[in-house]
Chain A
Amino acid sequence: MSLLKYPILIFFFILGLNITLQAQTKPKVNGKSGQIGLKSSIARGKVVYTNICLACHMADGNGVPTMNPPLIKTSYVLGDKTALIKIVLNGFSEDVEINGQKFSNNMAPHSDLTDVQIADVLTYVRKSFGNNASAIKPSEVKKFRPVKKI
């Protein structure tokens, strides 16, 4: 056993410790109502995720090799909000390639969810599993609903 063999391990360990310490101190600095709104959106989003998304994308967001894509560190989740919202509303049936791996299971549309539910679950996904992208608002989801014909 040699400690010198694991400088990267040590580096990440200390890095992880720093992040943990920072995360613990942050809420005290920014204890605003926006933060509370975000927190409850994430909490509601987690419930939606558990009921609707978890069966395929897994509790840790890692997905299933060759079938269901991971929701971690991918531009599908962290990038353009419009594309992400449309995937939830309309479903998805294209091959996805992430980090050299292909995923091919079809995703069903989830337009039966409310704007708030979709905003919550996408905010949860964009802020969980090590992701940290901006929140999504219900009004942003509403824009992509088809206009109802009377």
Chain B
Amino acid sequence: MNSRKLVYIFLPLVTIFLLIVIISWRIDNNKPSKVLANAGLTLPSGFEASAIAENLGRARHLTITPQNDIYVHLESLKNGKGIIVLHENNGKATIKTSFANFGGTGIAIKNGYLYASNDKAVYRFKLNEQNEVINPDAPETVVSGLLSRRAHEAKALCLDNKGNLYVNIGAYSNICSEFDRDRKGCPILDSAGGIWQFKADKLNQHYADGIKYAGGLRNVVGLSWNDQSNQLFVMQHGRDALHDLFPKLYTQHQSAELPAECMFALKKGDNAGWPYVYYDWIQNKNMLGPEYGGDGVKTADPQYINPAAAYPGHYAPNDLLFYTGTQFPEKYKNGAFIAFHGSWNRAPEPQAGYCIVFQPFKNGMPDGKWEVFANGFAGGPEKTSPNAAEHRPCGLAQGPDGSLYVADDQRGTIYKITYKN
């Protein structure tokens, strides 16, 4: 009786002790993240990755100078600064300086200036011959008064070779239904849901000075000028909630996979069709949206352009980079890398994305099937969700030696990916 009682008392205690030992051992072993091979990423054979900086903040987009200075734009200020400058030497990055009293997403270098945006404006900083910012406290205002209404407000940007600046003005809505209850036509498209073009070297432009370059684009965070086809390429974040809004037309599985996240090759005046149409990557068809009479079978009016390439639903493409280096094998030359931030709107199905995809190109247009290039940012299948992910790829840049750099806005890690044969 007594010994039995003792067992009842001690068995739980021993179990607790053993559990504590196991948990503490695991915590200890999880600590040094740098021990992970390739910084936890899986890559094609011959490639290596390392985390060259960590805990920078919400690192969104980044750009790198020929002198190996890395300008990282933070979504919100850290220690009062929105842009961090790293200098990289032999695979190690140290913080050189930080500046800018605004957070944001867009950042790019062109013709001796560093351009950077917040949600309402685009600024620029003059660079010296070493591509260092000359006057960090006095940016010039290129454009101000950009529309920013709580949703899709990041002003991603890029520049062409003819002195133009392209800025995303995201639609402040999922599918415009709250503004278009009578289905007469989405009224916000004259001032949002597209790419606006401004002059890159003209100061103090206002929103109204811009030209709507292309419309019907719900939200674009990844955009880039393609020098081969001399064309603007954008990655659209597709609509959400097909099943939630139309449970009779779309299953939960269809709603997780659809619509496609689309890559568009734009010409001036193009209309990509949001909110009236969406692209179905399984049927390879541009479809009429259910809000406007679609049923999952009816196709879209051909006035709306088709995507140049399409990817699974809700992956959230947050950056687009055309690879022009010589370090990576030949097949990567002039192809596109896409940073997929990762989904939230696939629930109750598992979330997906959280990876870098490579899209082969030929003569300046997508050619052939895309493939996952770098994966493992989230830290495992059980962590593949916006809350649990350890890292989320958000920005891409090419270094002077042809290495690929990735910015993570979950923990502020900067990855460097190199090819070693």
Binding site for B on A (CB under 8 A): 1-3, 5-6, 9-10, 13-14, 17, 50, 52, 54-56, 58-60, 62-65, 67-68, 93, 95, 104-106
A32 to chain B, nearest CB (A): 31
Q: Are B244 and A106 in contact (CB under 8 A)?
A: no
B286 to chain A, nearest CB (A): 25
Given contacts A6-B27, A68-B344, A105-B151, 19 further A-B contacts (CB under 8 A): A1-B24, A1-B28, A2-B24, A3-B21, A3-B24, A6-B20, A9-B20, A9-B27, A13-B16, A13-B19, A13-B20, A14-B16, A54-B347, A55-B244, A55-B348, A58-B347, A63-B387, A93-B178, A104-B151
A133 to chain B, nearest CB (A): 22
Nearest B residue to A50 via CB reads B348
Q: Are A54 and B348 in contact (CB under 8 A)?
A: yes
B380 to chain A, nearest CB (A): 17
A9 to B28, CA, bound (A): 13
A50 to B247, CA, bound (A): 13
Does B139 lie at the interface of the complex (its beta carbon under 8 Å from any beta carbon of A)?
A: no
B155 to chain A, nearest CB (A): 16
Q: Are A106 and B178 in contact (CB under 8 A)?
A: yes
Give the size of the chain B interface in residues (CB under 8 angstroms). 25
Given A1-B28, A105-B151: A55 touches B16 (CB 8 Å cut-off): no
Q: Are B241 and A9 in contact (CB under 8 A)?
A: no
A9 to B57, CA, bound (A): 27
Query: Can you list 22 pairs linking A and B with CB atoms under 8 Å apart?
Result: A1-B24, A6-B20, A6-B27, A9-B20, A9-B24, A10-B20, A13-B19, A50-B348, A52-B244, A54-B348, A55-B243, A55-B244, A55-B347, A56-B345, A58-B385, A64-B344, A64-B386, A64-B387, A65-B387, A67-B344, A93-B178, A95-B150
Q: Are A5 and B387 in contact (CB under 8 A)?
A: no
| A10: chain B residues within 8 A (beta carbon) | 20
A40 to chain B, nearest CB (A): 23
| B347: chain A residues within 8 A (beta carbon) | 54-55, 58-59
Contact with B387, one of A14, A52, A62, A104 (Cβ below 8 angstroms) = A62
A-B contact count (CB 8 A): 61
B309 to chain A, nearest CB (A): 26
Contacting residues of chain B (6-21) with chain A, CB-CB under 8 angstroms: 12, 16, 19-21
Given A6-B27, A54-B347: A65 touches B386 (CB 8 Å cut-off): yes
Q: Are B20 and A106 in contact (CB under 8 A)?
A: no
A1 to B23, CA, bound (A): 10
| A3: chain B residues within 8 A (beta carbon) | 20-21, 24
Contact with B150, one of A9, A63, A104 (Cβ below 8 angstroms) = A104
A145 to B28, CA, bound (A): 55
Q: Are A17 and B16 in contact (CB under 8 A)?
A: yes
B263 to chain A, nearest CB (A): 23
Contact with B241, one of A50, A55, A63, A65 (Cβ below 8 angstroms) = A55
Nearest A residue to B348 via CB reads A54
Q: Are A55 and B345 in contact (CB under 8 A)?
A: yes
| A105: chain B residues within 8 A (beta carbon) | 151
| B12: chain A residues within 8 A (beta carbon) | 17
Contacting residues of chain B (340-380) with chain A, CB-CB under 8 angstroms: 344-345, 347-348
A51 to B352, CA, bound (A): 20
A57 to B20, CA, bound (A): 32
| A65: chain B residues within 8 A (beta carbon) | 386-387
| B385: chain A residues within 8 A (beta carbon) | 58
| A93: chain B residues within 8 A (beta carbon) | 178
| A55: chain B residues within 8 A (beta carbon) | 241, 243-244, 345, 347-348
A67 to B345, CA, bound (A): 11
Q: Are B20 and A1 in contact (CB under 8 A)?
A: no
Q: Are A106 and B151 in contact (CB under 8 A)?
A: yes
The 7 A-B pairs of least Cβ separation, nearest first, read: A64-B344, A104-B150, A64-B386, A62-B387, A1-B28, A55-B244, A55-B347
A108 to B345, CA, bound (A): 15
B59 to chain A, nearest CB (A): 15
Nearest B residue to A52 via CB reads B244
A141 to B19, CA, bound (A): 46
B350 to chain A, nearest CB (A): 11
A60 to B383, CA, bound (A): 13
| B24: chain A residues within 8 A (beta carbon) | 1-3, 5-6, 9
| B19: chain A residues within 8 A (beta carbon) | 13
